[in-house]
Structure formats: structure tokens, C-alpha cells
Structure 1
Amino acid sequence: MKLRSLLFVPGDSERKFGRANDCGADALILDLEDSVAPAKKASARDLAANLIDAKNQRNWQFFVRVNALDTGLTLEDLVAVVRPGLDAIMVPKANGAADIERIGHYLDALEAKAGMPQGAVRLAVVATETAKAMFSLGAYQPAHPRLVALTWGAEDLSAALGATDNKEPDGAWTFPYQVARAQCLFAAAAAEVKPIDTVFVDFRDSQGLESDCRRSRRDGFTGRMAIHPDQVAIINRCYAPSKGEIEHARKIIAAFDANPGAGTLGVDGKMVDIPHLKAARKTLASI
């Protein structure tokens, strides 16, 4: 499942969903949670179900972000949207792997009811939105069979901590949120699932987004969530390997293939070893 760009779309707006359809995102996340007012939750569920049923031609993954387990709305959301055509559920405000196990049991039953293969609906988790979650990130490994990605969020965590702000004057994350970001990255790597970076909220600042995405990919994130269609092309470009990176990765793999007993080799005038080989394989796998 390619997940460079995941675009949030309010679950109560068919117009915005229509605009997002051809923006080039790898996944559209129809949101039933924060972007939908309480009075519109039921109608948003109905719209989500209808959009999944439409089965229009598409080249992106269909995600739905359900409401958090502590709202009492999660099961109603799942009952409405688990049907053929749904690719994944995004779980917000998860406290740890036990929450994913619980939702996995719900999905087992709902897939059977809908005549879907067991495991057809995958899971992506917003893993840092509660204080409790920060002490549970190691529990995602070994990964649940449905788990494909971990991402992080700062706004709900800020509210949980009582923070007055989560950014420095220069726009950098303050220390608690640097920790959350790094821990999410480590947890995803340990679970061997995709690490997805959080949203860049100033959708008009394309230069800032590009710079931040390049830092993010440098650190190890493989994709990013978006809040506006105009962000998608930048995200896709930043998280895709360059021609030079692809060429270099192929050279490393070819060198080790030609010398299967070697632990260290010279490629393009530099010494490379097994970690470089692993990185090269990841680069080619991301194409």
C-alpha cells in the first residue's frame, strides 16, 4: 500500500470529496471525527457509506477516520462504513495496541457480515494524541496483522497536556512534541509499518511545507497527511526518491549481488555496508 500522501476530507462534504478525487493523493481519508460537528455525525456516516458504495474508478486508497473509542461512536461508524470498497480505518486518540486489538475484533465480525475477506480493511493509527499513548508506543510491535501505518498528532496531545502552544517562535516543535514525533517514528520502525508525519497546517505556505517534508523524509518518515489538495503534489514529490537516489540504490544492490560474501564494498568512491544495502532496498521498494 503506497502511502506518501494522505488527504483529509470532511466527512460531511460531498463537494470537497469531489474536488479531492483527482488531486493525486495516495489515500483520501474521509473524516468522521474532528471535522464533523456532533449534530452531523449520523449524516456523515450515511454519506461515507454512499461514497464507498459508489465504486467509482479511482487510483487511491479509501480510508475513513472514525471517532475515538472514548466517544462511544466508534462502533456505529464502523457498522456504517465497513463494506466492499473500504481499504482502511484511521484510528484517532488510540491509547495503545489494546485499542487496535479491540477494533480488529469489530472488523472481523463486520467483514464477515459484509462478505469481505478477513483482514481486507487495514488500520492506520494516530498514536500520540493522549498522554497515556506516549507510554504505550512500544506495544505496537509485533504489529497487529491489520496495521499498516503509525502517525502522530500534536493538537490533541497539546490539549491533553494543557499546553498554551506547541511551536517555538520560529515554527519548530517545542520539546514535548519533538519527543512525540520521534517516538512515533521509532515505534513504526519497530513494528515494521509505515511512519507517516503529521499535517502541516499552513496550507498556503508551500515553501514551508516543502522544507518540512524534506526534513521529515531525511529523518525516516515515508509519507505525510495533508489538509488541502494543493499540498498533495509537494508531498508526493518530497517523499519520492530522486533519480540520483534510485540510481545509487541500484548500484549498491548490484555491487552486493556481485559479491554475496562481502560485508563492505566501495560504491562511487565511498564505503558502503549492510545498513546501506538495507536502505537501498527500501528506496527501490518505495518507487
Structure 2
Amino acid sequence: MRLRSLLFVPADRPDRFAKAAGSGADAIILDLEDSVHPHAKDAAAREVAAFLSQSASGVLRLVRINPLDSGRLDADLAAARRADGIVLPKAEGAASIRQLVAQLGSEGPPVLPIATETPAAIFSLGSYSEVADHLLGISWGAEDLPAAIGAATAREGDGRYTPPYEMVRGLALFGAHAAGVAALDTVYPALADQDGLERYAARAARDGFTGMLALHPAQVPVINAAFTPTPDQLDEARAVIAAFAAEPGAGVLRHKGRMLDAPHLKQAQRLLARAGA
């Protein structure tokens, strides 16, 4: 299962559902939370249920429900019962996942927590490995957390994260890899800045994220390209693997003028696996 791009769609805009599904995103997230006014949530839940009752078109269909303590859990899960996954906002570690799974049942869809939206959540990022079997991946956000602590912003004037939120991003990345699930970087909110998006997505792929959330269909091709290994990268990975296969007793070997050891082999294997090669 590839999860390079996950595109948000407001759940009260059913006119956008089909377009989102045809955008090339690996998954769409029908959003019942932040993008829907409280008075429109019941109608939005009905639209989600109606859309999910139709046959899938090859794209994963996820639903972002409202937080566990919102009072809408039963209604949201009823609407999302045919979804391929549940996106859980305001998640606070393994305890939140266990609470949700208790409602979903053991055969329910996997969960994608947005894992950094409250101060307490930061201290629970290492616990997701306890519930990894129930996870689709782990993502993070840089909007709710500064609001929760009264910070003016999470970003510098040039768009870079300030040190506290750069730390949170790194902890979310390592929390996902510790759990052995997809590590998904957060959205890039400047919709008109395609060059900035390209740099951001390339940095995320470089740092070890495996995919990214998207806010607009126009962002999807840029994100997919960033998280799709190039033919040259695949050829090099195959060459590294072949070099170790040719010297099965070697712990370290020389390849194209550089020294390789076990981490390089593992990196090559992971790249091929990510590409489905």
C-alpha cells in the first residue's frame, strides 16, 4: 500500500469528492472535523456515509472524525463504517487508539492519528508501537499545538518551523518509525507556492517521511513526485544489493569508490520496498 499523498476534502462538499478521488492521490481524507462548521456536521456525516456506500475507485477513502471527547464519536463512526481508515485528531498516544478501537471493534478499519495537536500528545509519541497493529500510519500537525499553548506561530518569517515545532516534527517522525508504520508529514498551507511545496516535500522525503498530507488537488502531483524514487535511485539501490549479494561474507565493501556497510544495504532494501520493486 502506497501512502505518498493524502488529500483532505471537506465532508460538507460532496461536489468535490469525485474530483479528489480522481486527483492521483493515494488516499483522500473526508474531513468531518476542522473544515466543517458545527451546524453542518450532521449533514456532512450523511454525505460521507452516502459516498462510502458507493464502490471505491482505487483510491483509499479515509474519514477524519471529530476528537474522542467531542460528543460526536458514535455519529462519526456510523458514517465512516465503510471507510478504509479513520483519521483521529487530538490523539494522545496508545491510550487514544485503544479507546477508539474499543468503539470500532477488532475488525474495524486502521487508524491514522494526528499525533501532536495537544501538549500531552508530545509525551506519548513513543507509545504508538504498543498499538502498531491498529495503525495505518502517524502524522502530525503544526496548527493546533501552538494555539493550545498560546504561541503566536509555529513558523519563522521564511516559513521554517521554529525550534519547538521542528522538535515535534522530528519526534513524530521517529515515533512512526519506532512503530513500524508510515511516517506522514503535515500539510504545506501556502497553496499558491508550488516551488515552496516542492522544497518542503523533498526535505520531508530526505528526512525519512514516507508521505505527506495535502490540502488541494494541485499539490498532489508535486507530493507524489517527491516520494516516488527515481529510476536512477532504484538502479543504485539494486546495485548496492547486488554488491552485497556478490560478497555474502562481507560486512563492509567498496562500491563505486565509497565504503558500504549494513545500514547502506538496509537503506537500499527499504527504498525498493517503498517503490514496490
Give the TM-score normalised by structure 2.
0.96
Whole-angstrom CA distance in 2 between matches of 1:280 and 1:148: 23
Q: Out of 94, 117, 122, which is 1:129 matched to?
A: 117
1:209 aligns with 2:206: no
In structure 1, the residue matched to 2:2 is 2
Alignment of 1:95-110 (within 5 A): 95-108=92-105
1:123 shift after superposition: 1.0
1:143 shift after superposition: 3.6
In structure 2, the residue matched to 1:235 is 223
Give identity over the alignment, percent: 46
In structure 2, the residue matched to 1:19 is 19
Q: Deviations over 1:214-270 (max 9, x none)?
A: 111111111000000000000000111111110111011112222222211222221
Secondary structure at the counterpart of residue 28 of structure 2: strand
Alignment of 1:3-152 (within 5 A): 3-56=3-56, 58-83=57-82, 86-108=83-105, 118-119=107-108, 121-152=109-140
- Whether the 8 Å CA contact 1:8–1:226 is kept in 2: the answer is yes
Alignment of 1:184-223 (within 5 A): 184-223=172-211
Secondary structure at the counterpart of residue 244 of structure 1: helix
The residue identity in structure 2 corresponding to 1:63 is L
Q: Out of 135, 149, 153, which is 1:165 matched to?
A: 153
Whole-angstrom CA distance in 1 between matches of 2:208 and 2:157: 25
Whole-angstrom CA distance in 2 between matches of 1:146 and 1:236: 25
Whole-angstrom CA distance in 1 between matches of 2:6 and 2:84: 13
The residue identity in structure 1 corresponding to 2:47 is L
Change (3 A) 1:143 1:274: farther
Whole-angstrom CA distance in 2 between matches of 1:73 and 1:9: 19
- Whether the 8 Å CA contact 1:100–1:144 is kept in 2: the answer is no
The residue identity in structure 2 corresponding to 1:80 is A
- Whether the 8 Å CA contact 1:8–1:30 is kept in 2: the answer is yes
- Whether the 8 Å CA contact 2:139–2:185 is kept in 1: the answer is yes
Structure 2 residues without counterparts, runs of 5 or longer: none
Secondary structure at the counterpart of residue 132 of structure 2: coil
Secondary structure at the counterpart of residue 212 of structure 2: strand
- Whether the 8 Å CA contact 1:223–1:239 is kept in 2: the answer is yes
The residue identity in structure 1 corresponding to 2:105 is D
Whole-angstrom CA distance in 1 between matches of 2:270 and 2:149: 36
The residue identity in structure 1 corresponding to 2:128 is Y
1:76 shift after superposition: 1.7
- Whether the 8 Å CA contact 1:101–1:144 is kept in 2: the answer is no
1:38 shift after superposition: 0.5
1:171 shift after superposition: 1.1
Secondary structure at the counterpart of residue 70 of structure 1: coil
Whole-angstrom CA distance in 2 between matches of 1:268 and 1:101: 49
Whole-angstrom CA distance in 1 between matches of 2:128 and 2:43: 33
- Whether the 8 Å CA contact 1:252–1:280 is kept in 2: the answer is yes
Q: Deviations over 1:134-155 (max 9, x none)?
A: 1111111134312121111011
Whole-angstrom CA distance in 2 between matches of 1:224 and 1:52: 23
Runs of 4+ in 1 over 3 A off after TM superposition: none
The aligned length equals: 275
Structure 1 residues without counterparts, runs of 5 or longer: 110-117
Secondary structure at the counterpart of residue 156 of structure 2: coil
Whole-angstrom CA distance in 2 between matches of 1:234 and 1:193: 23
Secondary structure at the counterpart of residue 9 of structure 1: strand
